[in-house]
Amino acid sequence: MLWNAKVCIPHRGFLLLFCTALLFGCRKPDEDLGLDLLPGEELGLSFDTVPIRAFSFPDSAIRTSGLSRNLVGSYSDPDFGTLRASTVVQLRLTTNNIGQGLEVIGLVPDSIVLALAYETPSYGYGNLHPQVFTVHELTEDLSVDSLYHSDDFPQVASEDLVAEHASLLTPEPFTSPEIGGVTALPQLRIRLKESLARRFLSAFNTPDLVDNTAFLTFFKGLQVGVENGTQAPYQGGVLYFNTQSSASKVTVYYKDTLSSDPQLPRVLDLAISSNSVRYTTVERDRTQAVMLVQALSDTSALAPSTYVQALGGLRTAIRFPELEVRTAEGKALSKAELVVPVSGVFYPSYGPPAQLFVFRKGSAGGDVFLPDQLQGIQAIGGNYDAATNAYVFNITRYVQGVFSGTFTNGGLELASGSAGVSVNRVVLCGPQHPTTPMQLQLTFTTY
């Protein structure tokens, strides 16, 4: 089939119109387009920062009972001083009526071991240096209906229950020991005195081991800690243990010499479980942290650095004395970001918290989440960004609430995330830091 050639030739008038449009459509844009926008307000945006006053202060004791893990160990931190953590636990029977019908005289102990399963992969904070571990028996009753805090130091007996020459241990959180021919979870194993094993065996077939109510009157629990003496800077560490793991327990290894198989190894497990009272205590000595001591002694001084530490350690308070006057007629707040850089380079084993929380104070003086938090943690931010070495918080709703009078301009506080189950810490850049100061950055839209 042949096409009609006339159809393929545009009309002369249409061709002229097309060329005219093409010529004018390719003109360079006017050089003065947009000059009616004010300087710094490109696309209708303007930017501002707000003067900040910040200071560090000691946090109050924090609840540590009934949480996911417990802490033991000590280390020396040049920026924060020394810290020592201990764990307090109840032991519980795994079955009732232990030893019923047995002749106690035939029970002979082989050994007794306290095992604490490492929390993985976050096994601790600091270095895996050898430490001197201690174990003491509680002399006061604990209640699962009570809340325990980081400063609730229990009454304990003076005797250290760790066996002779068994207290100095090197943590090995990546090693799985073989126990009774079975590969077990990585754990710290502390050999205890044989006298404690004999005490448990002598309670067989007595009312003390009838049930857990009776047993907790007979044996109230343990405090596990360390006595490392003076430590050099960066020496030691705090270990994290999963005290809800079935591997965390006290095991008595023994034989029944009056049985039909007197050489058969036997075990009595005394469990540490989610039904046990479990909590962490902490002691601090900040005297060698000179810069921190100075910062805490005068909270009105200029702050090139501020401090945050978990486990009831330290918080950073932030005040915005001129925040209300930053709003103006003809502008609407588009974004408010609190940018908090980390000060300098940190020691690799003393990494900053993965997240910081920001609070305001409520009318009763307690911590209250910002309205920005109501949309979720990702909305407000506060995660540590290794690329920028900083924390950034989106607090737009809070600042807008201050502008509108919904919230009083009482300031904010920064606290460590995972505060009850870690000892992480961070030195932050304060408002007077010479190169990367803490800032509140405001973005406005003009209308």
**Per-residue pLDDT tens for 52-109?**
999 999 999 999 999 999 999 999 999 999 999 999 999 999 999 999 988 899 999 9
| Pair (394, 309) in one structural domain | yes
| Pair (239, 313) in one structural domain | no
Residue 34 resides in a domain? no
Residue 236 resides in a domain? yes
Q: Which two tokens stand for residue 200?
A: 């448990």
> What's the pLDDT at 19?
40
Least confident piece of the model among 10-14, 119-123, 253-257? 10-14
Residue 96 resides in a domain? yes
Residue 8 resides in a domain? no
Residues present in the chain in total: 447
| Pair (263, 359) in one structural domain | no
Residue 3 resides in a domain? no
| Pair (290, 377) in one structural domain | yes
Q: CATH number, domain at 323?
A: 2.60.120
| Pair (269, 329) in one structural domain | no
Least confident piece of the model among 34-48, 53-67, 236-250? 34-48
**CB-based contacts of 57, cutoff 8 Å, min separation 6:** 296, 299, 314, 315, 317
| Pair (320, 426) in one structural domain | yes
| Pair (360, 329) in one structural domain | yes
Report which of 139, 153, 190 is spatially closest to residue 169, judged by C-alpha positions.
Answer: 190
Domain edge (last residue) among 276, 309, 333: 276
- CA–CA separation, 406 vs 415, rounded Å? 24
> What's the pLDDT at 348?
94
Percent residues over pLDDT 90 in the chain: 82
Confidence of residue 38 (pLDDT cuts 50, 70, 90): very low
Task: Say yes or no to pLDDT of 31 above 50.
Answer: no
- CA–CA separation, 327 vs 106, rounded Å? 84
Handedness of CA 144, 146, 150, 155 (dihedral sign): negative
- How large is the greatest C-alpha to C-alpha distance in the chain, in angstroms? 121
Confidence of residue 22 (pLDDT cuts 50, 70, 90): very low
Q: Which two tokens stand for residue 165?
A: 């020459």
- CA–CA separation, 24 vs 18, rounded Å? 10
| Pair (270, 291) in one structural domain | no
Percent residues over pLDDT 70 in the chain: 89
| Pair (127, 48) in one structural domain | no
C-alpha distance from residue 427 to each of 348, 351, 414, 432 (Å): 14, 10, 12, 14
- Asked if 69 contacts 248 with a C-beta cutoff of 8 angstroms, the reply is no
Residue 28 resides in a domain? no
> What's the pLDDT at 447?
72
> What's the pLDDT at 379?
85
Q: Which two tokens stand for residue 104?
A: 């106690």
Report which of 222, 265, 273, 272 is spatially closest to residue 111, judged by C-alpha positions.
Answer: 265
- Asked if 89 contacts 267 with a C-beta cutoff of 8 angstroms, the reply is no
Count of structural domains, the chain? 2
Q: What is the mean pLDDT of residues 185-192?
A: 98
Q: What is the mean pLDDT of residues 22-30?
A: 40
Confidence of residue 43 (pLDDT cuts 50, 70, 90): low
Does the pTM exceed 0.85? Answer: yes
User: Whole domain around residue 104: which residue ranges?
Assistant: 70-276
| Pair (269, 365) in one structural domain | no
